[in-house]
Amino acid sequence: MSTVKPESFKSTCSYCGVGCGIIVHKDKKGQVSVEGDPEHPVNKGMLCSKGMNLHYVVRDQSDRLTHPQMRWGKSHPLERVDWDTAMQRAAAVFQSIIKKHGPDAVAFYVSGQCLTEEYYLVNKLSKGYLQTNNIDTNSRLCMSSAVMGYIKTLGEDSVPIAYDDIELADCFMVAGANPAWCHPILWRRVEKHKEENPNTKIIVVDPRVTQSCSLADLHLQINPGTDEALYLAIGRGLIEQGDIDVDFIKNHSDGFEAYRDLVMETSLEESAAICGVSTTDILLAASYIGDAKGFITMWAMGLNQSTEGVNKNLALIDLNLITGQIGKPGAGPFSLTGQPNAMGGREVGGMATLLASHRSLNNPEHRQEVADFWGVDKLPEQAGKTATQIFEGLEEGSIKAVWIICTNPLVSMPDARRVENALKKAKFVVVQDISTKAAAIPYADLVLPAAGWGEKEGTMTNSERRISYLPKFTPAPGEALPDAEILIRFAKKMGFGGFDHASMAEVYQEYCQLTKGTNIDISALTYAHLKQVGTVQWPFTGLNPEGTPRLFTDHKFHTPNGRAQILASGPKNKTELTDTDFPLILTTGRIRDQWHTMTRTGKVSKLNKHIASPFLEIHPEDAQRRNIKEGDTVLITGKRGEVRVHAQITTNINAGVVFLPMHWGKILQNDLSRANNLTGNGIDPVSKQPDFKFSAVQVEKYRKP
């Protein structure tokens, strides 16, 4: 092996939306190791278990896709082909399908792990050149309800605060999130702040006792699905205690009277009964919030992944609005993004319902601005198909071809059997991935090997709007290419003219110019500046070299009249109902040391040691009734499928509720470790985000046939 000069590179962790800074070291043999970047404003040198083991994923190339493969017919095996043949085939099939069935017969399904440049290019390709808005992302599964919550209340999808607000707050409400496991470094900052300021109050709202509860002054262990009722009841408590900000409400918001009327319709006793908590605890939460100088609400999938995800977001954000806890130090609503670049994808309009730079797809002027910028006549008017709708479209035949980039829908999408059926019925499936473990490969007509973290350059944006530059520091294996390069090659094969970028810096500069004059303006930003200062928070006008940490400090919101909107509709039960056949509520979630569908973290033996196999959390009463003992194999059945794992009997979950982790699942049918065999097709009507938190199931002790 040749020796090279040892080198170091600054990059960003490619797992969660916290966006920790990493220093990558390459030794003389080219071997990679990582450490937390002590100068990085997010993590100040800290890394969680996943981040500190990232180098093992780079070193282990055993599962990598290394060359394009193609099937000459559905019943033929995948065969190695060269890139030109692969791109020629993709272009020919897409052209033929579009000619015969129209542009909406094709779709792209991408990922919050794509770099911003890749997200930008696939949107330009799909919306601008192929003329279909059928480009959606797995971010639809994690935060689209928060996007709509922000748009409706603040006028735009803009997270108002920065992580530095954590150290300035004295009350946190953590709702439907377990940041101790899922956003560990962010949580470490909360933990340290509380250690140094013991009067800081932490309220956790979760149907389960999670690791985050160990820091809580108050855990509201609500019945699944009753979040909105709880926040409205806390709102009532704040009003009755006189703990609202009358000046803010009067001068900077609309909708308070309707909100007050709504919350007064339900007594605290009724709300307490719905939620399964006491009125004392509801009022205690209200008094913690009312006493706070700085109040932050933090939330994630527990709220968003629901048929009422948007309404839950509205009711939570309302708590910040009626108390005037926004646009000032240590205060604001703060949705936690699950993926490293979910935010970057939102910026470039990387969803079927969005346009670049927070423009609106429903606004003809905005569409024309983007069309003119891209040099095309127009953009399609109609919203595209969202994540679950793409697979429904494939199943019923209105969509013929899907191009899946950097995501594993057979494990991560709800109702896995439907996804399998959809892929079986599809005329043409492209899987573009780094790993041979991508579960859709057996259904693919074309498999394209992609470069992974550190094998390509680009940018990402974390949960606090912080943009980071990620360098290329190691070659991709075999013939694998950066996702952006693959998209550019395809666009050129299609004969499209707008893809002559010589570098990723050029792609980024193009996107930056598209933000000019918008509320997320970064037109003054360059790769050179990012490399010099490390990171910036949008908007970035060039006046402050580090961008804008906090939004809405002037209390001028991005709504048409500049006022925040206090909105609430009242809870409606639209979830799947339990019955005598399926009497238990299944909720799904994450564990500390695995990431998504384990294609990367599953390769690291240290991480696998934390929890080695999938399990079902079940309350002792439910277990006893079924004669289930700790460690027994149990069969969980629902209306759509079944799962078989071992039982973990715990009082951390209420009777009537069971929990499965979402990470496990392998290739092909009858995989009984996959939680999404049981989840359903309910989506929020506004955000189109699927519900992963409420499915009706039955559990029994498994007996071998």
Binding residues vs ligand SF4 (CB under 6 A): 13, 15-16, 18-20, 43, 47-48, 50-51, 183-185
Nearer to ligand SF4, 227 or 455 (CB): 455
Q: Which is nearer to ligand SF4, 359 or 590 (CB)?
A: 590
For residue 645, list its beta bridge partners: 634
CA distance 68 to 78: 9
Strand, helix or coil for residue 173: strand
Min. distance of Cβ 20 from ligand SF4 in angstroms? 3
Nearer to ligand SF4 by C-beta: 13 or 429?
13
* Local structure of 412: helix, strand or coil: helix
Q: Nearest residue to ligand SF4, using CB? A: 51
Angle between helix 268-275 and helix 227-241 axes, rounded to 10 deg? 150
Tokens in use for 587?
Answer: 């909720």
Taking the least distance from each CB to ligand SF4, the nearer of 16 and 419 is 16
Spatial separation of the C-alpha atoms in residues 216 and 204, rounded to whole Å: 6
Environment class of 588 (CB within 10 Å of its CB; exposed 0-12, middle 13-18, buried 19+):
buried
User: Which CB atom, from 416 or from 536, has the smaller least distance to ligand SF4?
Assistant: 536
Q: Take residue 679 and report the two structure tokens written for it.
A: 């989840």
At 243 the three-state DSSP class reads coil
| Smallest separation, CB 16 to ligand SF4 (Å) | 3
Q: With respect to ligand SF4, which residue has the nearer C-beta, 183 or 312?
A: 183
Residue from 177, 557, 515, 207 nearest 335 by CA: 177
The least distance separating ligand SF4 from the CB of residue 17, rounded to whole angstroms, comes to 7
Q: Report how far residue 616's alpha carbon sits from residue 125's, in angstroms, rounded to the nearest whole number.
A: 43
**Residue 343 or 355: which CB sits closer to ligand SF4?**
343
Pick between residue 51 and residue 384 the one whose CB is nearest to ligand SF4: 51
The minimum distance between CB 51 and ligand SF4, in angstroms, equals 2
- Yes or no: say if 333 and 231 are a contact pair by the CB < 8 Å rule: no
Query: In sequence order, what DSSP letters do the residues of 437-469 get, joined into one string?
Result: T-TTGGG-SEEEEB--TTSS-EEEE-TTSEEEE
Amino acid at 240: E
State the nearest-atom distance from the C-beta of 18 to ligand SF4, in Å. Answer: 4
From the CB of residue 76, how many other CB atoms can be counted at a distance below 10 Å? 10
Q: What is the DSSP letter of 544?
A: S
Token look-up 């390709």 returns: 125
| Pairing relationship of beta strands 106-110 and 401-405 according to DSSP bridges | parallel
Nearest CB to ligand SF4, comparing residues 529 and 592: 592
Q: How far is the CB of 25 from ligand SF4 (least distance, A)?
A: 16
Three-state helix/strand/coil letters over 177-242? CCHHHHCHHHHHHHHHHHHHCCCCEEEEECCECCHHHHHCCEEECCCCCCHHHHHHHHHHHHHHHC
Q: What 3-state DSSP class applies to 68?
A: coil
User: How long, in residues, is the chain?
Assistant: 705
Contact 2, 27 (CB under 8 A): no
Minimal distance, residue 520 CB to ligand SF4, in Å: 22
Of 536 and 645, nearer to ligand SF4 (C-beta) is 536
Q: How far apart are CA 452 and CA 483, in angstroms?
A: 9
Q: What φ, ψ does residue 514 adopt, rounded to 5°?
A: -70, -15
Which residue's CB is nearer to ligand SF4, number 501 or number 592?
592
Least Cβ distance, residue 299 to ligand SF4 (angstroms): 17
CB atoms within 10 A of CB 477: 16
Q: Could you tell me the smallest distance in angstroms from the CB atom of residue 403 to ligand SF4?
A: 27
Burial 689-703 (b: 16+ CB within 10 A, else e): bbbbbbbbbbbeebe
Provide the minimum distance between the beta carbon of 601 and ligand SF4 in the complex, in angstroms, as a whole number.
9
Nearest approach, Cβ of residue 245 and ligand SF4 (Å): 33
With respect to ligand SF4, which residue has the nearer C-beta, 212 or 266?
Answer: 212
User: Toward ligand SF4, which CB reaches closer, 115 or 404?
Assistant: 115
Rounded Cα–Cα distance for residues 188 and 181 (Å): 10
List the beta strands (DSSP E) in 45-152: 69-70, 79-80, 106-110, 135-137
300: helix, strand or coil: coil
Q: Name which of 18 and 316 has its Cβ closer to ligand SF4.
A: 18
> What is the smallest separation between the CB atom of 406 and ligand SF4, expressed in angstroms?
17
Residue 590 Cβ vs ligand SF4, minimum distance, rounded to whole Å: 11
Which residues, 6+ apart, have CB-to-CB distance to 171 below 8 Å? 200, 201, 202, 203, 288, 289, 291, 292, 294, 295, 296
Shortest distance, position 556 Cβ to ligand SF4, whole Å = 32
Measured CA to CA, the distance from residue 221 to residue 204 in angstroms comes to 8
